[in-house]
A and B are shown apart, each in its own frame.
Chain A
Amino acid sequence: MALVLNEEQVMLKESAAGFLAEKATVAHLRQLRDSASAQGFDSDVWQEMAAMGWAGIAIAEEFGGLGYGYTGLGLLLEQSGRNLSASPLQSTVLVAATLIAQLGDKEQKGRLLPAIASGEKRVTLALQEGPHHVPLQISASAKRDGDAWVIEGSKLMVLDASSADTFIVIARTSGSPGDERGLSALLVEAGSAGLAVSARSMVDSRSAGALLLEGVRVPATNLLGVEGDAWTGLSRTLDIANIGLAAELLGLSAAAFERTVAYLKERKQFGVLIGSFQGLQHRAAELYAELELARSIVLQALQTIDAGAVDLALVASAAKAKLCEVAQRATNEAIQMHGGVGMTDEYEIGFFIKRARVAQHTFGDYNYHLDRFALLNGF
């Protein structure tokens, strides 16, 4: 497969860029933050996105999606990153729909995926339990009681928790923390008895939340896939999620960089444009080279998903680690090169560094993925 976008993909990218630049910009994110929006995104904008097919972009046509694949979704995420557009594209479309497609049986997929694709249902994954992403360290439990599962435990960093209709809770039905066997995925409806959802205020102003599950009973049919056997599908979903986040970070980093270069061309000190200083030029040029490299691995990783490769782990960790590194550098340099105005809330560049760090940490940061990349390379 050639590492270039086809005509259809270029059109998608351009139309997404146009839409987001109008409807979901950094200024909109600031409004959401300042209005203390609990859900962290604009429902009307999300409905418009869904009407354009974005919610079902990677969902197969037989389940009401567009069947455009993850390269298409990656383009939307990249454009979302450029504009810092807040929407459930990550929580519902990238992560939850993928996990349902991975684990669900035909009935479950037929019930859930079309509802996600139409924008009517919002679903999110409840996985993490501590401050770090360690996906096998799950102690939340689910025990069988007649024709129900009873879930106990607590979850953190649940994306868009306060507005989700349904949670996919990862819980142990057997084994101990660290085991691959024994992990199960259970659908829990918002408002279930014993479920407490609390919004957490995060640095990026997006809505992540915590769940407390105390004896939450769900019907046996809410088990997604096979009991104790969620790991393979979950692991693949996390790989896809990290590639999607890498695409978002690519757009975010490129936009932060472009704003910085523009600033270097307008800010004068010592009677000259600061962009004429070689000390800044070389740092900008190095960053440009890194961004071009980052673009390549993101596209390769997205295409690897769509090619149906069995093993995504290496390319996923490579893409996420590289984009964590580049996003960190791009946003740090953005603040430094903007100087004092870069530190002000009034200037928009600060929103980029904030979203970058949250996206970097979501489902494993640089340290997690570089370590995994080395292990997968045999050292």
Chain B
Amino acid sequence: MSDLEQFRMETRTWLEQNCPASMRTPVKGFDELYNGGRKPEIDHPDQKTWCDRMAARGWTVPHWPREYGGAGLDKEQVKVLRQEMARIGARSPLDSFGISMLGPALLHFGTEAQKLDHLPKIARGEIRWCQGYSEPNAGSDLASLATRAQDNGDHYLINGQKIWTSYADKADWIFCLVRTDNSGSKHEGISFVLFDMADPGVTVRPIRLISGSSPFCETFFDNVKAYKSNLIGEEGKGWTIAKYLLTHEREMISSFGAAPKKSVGQIALETMGSDASGRLANGVLRQTIAQYELDTLVFGATMARVGDEARAGQGLGAASSIFKYYGTELNKRRNELNLAALGEQALGWDGAEYSGGVVSRDWLRSKGNSIEGGTSEVQLNIIAKRVLGLPDA
């Protein structure tokens, strides 16, 4: 038996023995994912057990090095672990911005002390992170951000306001872009710092969205302390880290464009029926759905191709911008088609007969996909300038 097969058998046995039965059921939505933190939202007591058991093996972040809370698995082993988890329908033990966003940035830009300080707590789900990027006057033009960090010896004093801070009301720490210098160009003088949201100078106000949910917050800083030991990279060079992280964020958001389990075509067939030739009864909707399904298939092939190219050491420069742009537009198209296919049943807002309005709320939420993490228009600017080399105005 190859080492990989040996690993597969051991993994299978361990998962069988350690994954609680309740954690082998699919999550109903984004909200049911376990995010950890000092004040975790526990929907089921087994969530923490499952997370703790996986974390003890380094399997919440299996590809991270062991000294930082991972298991040091290679790509093939990680793939086997994912396959074996999928085989029994095991839920992801821990989902967090610490894992998907800050972790990769720390691994890339952090000092050894910073990695040892923060990564294991992310891996164990002890600290939940949020991202402090956008400001009321710095949206698409993120580099014009104005939240100030004033040098105060061994720490900075942070003053200013962030907006669209995802889950700031539930987070323990923030990774934050702040201005340490105003004298140069707007891209210079930005620094990337980490600090504790428990500081009394932090105020958080959730923002209610058109979908009724409040995943984002306004976050205010009034003389908040950020220790210089938690400055990542050099002072004034935070924009590089910000861009690196945005790439990760875009890839995460673009995954919304992946094909759903039940195709829109199937949904429409069930609600509207077909003609004698097997074609969906409404030819206009049928064409729109077919175009969407075709683009979804082709988008999936592109995700696979770019993954394969990355493994082969080639790469598509603007892949993350293409994915962000195309994936989010696809997700919006899918949500519009859900409305068309399900009819007025899709427009329910609340109550059991509408499953709590999940279709309409998801549809409304999807509108934000092409705004957050860099709008579609910003992605097109990036492709036009960086890939096609078109001139500035």
Does A293 contact B298, Cβ atoms closer than 8 Å?
Answer: yes
Closest to A321 in B: B294
A248 shortest CB reach to chain B, Å:
18
Chain B residues within 8 Å of A300, by CB: 301, 304-305
Chain B residues within 8 Å of A377, by CB: 263, 265, 290, 293
At the interface, yes or no: B295 with Cβ under 8 Å from chain A?
A: yes
Does A281 contact B380, Cβ atoms closer than 8 Å?
Answer: yes
10 pairs of residues in contact across A and B, judged by CB atoms under 8 Å:
A3-B301, A284-B390, A285-B383, A288-B387, A289-B326, A296-B298, A318-B298, A370-B287, A373-B294, A378-B266
At the interface, yes or no: B213 with Cβ under 8 Å from chain A?
A: no
At the interface, yes or no: B311 with Cβ under 8 Å from chain A?
A: yes
Number of interface residues of A (CB under 8 A): 39
Does A276 contact B308, Cβ atoms closer than 8 Å?
Answer: no
How far apart sit A295 and B325, CA to CA, in the bound complex (Å)? 17
Which residue numbers of B lie inside 8 Å of A, CB to CB? 263, 265-266, 268-269, 274, 277-280, 286-287, 289-291, 293-295, 297-299, 301-302, 304-305, 308-309, 311-312, 314, 316, 318, 322, 325-326, 377, 379-381, 383-385, 387-393
Does A265 contact B316, Cβ atoms closer than 8 Å?
Answer: no
Does A3 contact B308, Cβ atoms closer than 8 Å?
Answer: yes
A164 shortest CB reach to chain B, Å:
34
Q: Among B266, B298, B304, B391, which residue has its beta carbon within 8 angstroms of that of A265?
A: B391
Q: Contacts A281-B380, A284-B384, A377-B263 hold; do A2 and B325 have CB atoms under 8 A apart?
A: no
In the complex, besides A261-B389, A321-B294, 12 extra interface pairs with C-beta distance below 8 angstroms are: A272-B391, A275-B390, A281-B385, A286-B380, A295-B302, A299-B301, A300-B301, A318-B298, A373-B294, A375-B278, A378-B269, A379-B278
A185 shortest CB reach to chain B, Å:
27
How far apart sit A378 and B265, CA to CA, in the bound complex (Å)? 8
Q: Among B294, B297, B318, B384, which residue has its beta carbon within 8 angstroms of that of A282?
A: B384
Which residue numbers of A lie inside 8 Å of B, CB to CB? 2-4, 261, 264-265, 272-273, 275-278, 280-282, 284-286, 288-289, 292-297, 299-300, 318, 321-322, 370-371, 373-375, 377-379
How many pairs of A and B residues are in contact by the CB < 8 Å rule? 136
B115 shortest CB reach to chain A, Å:
32
B92 shortest CB reach to chain A, Å:
26
How far apart sit A38 and B314, CA to CA, in the bound complex (Å)? 44
Closest to A288 in B: B383
Does B302 contact A276, Cβ atoms closer than 8 Å?
Answer: no
Q: Contacts A275-B391, A284-B388, A293-B298 hold; do A379 and B265 have CB atoms under 8 A apart?
A: yes
Does B326 contact A288, Cβ atoms closer than 8 Å?
Answer: no
Chain A residues within 8 Å of B274, by CB: 379
Chain A residues within 8 Å of B393, by CB: 272, 276-278
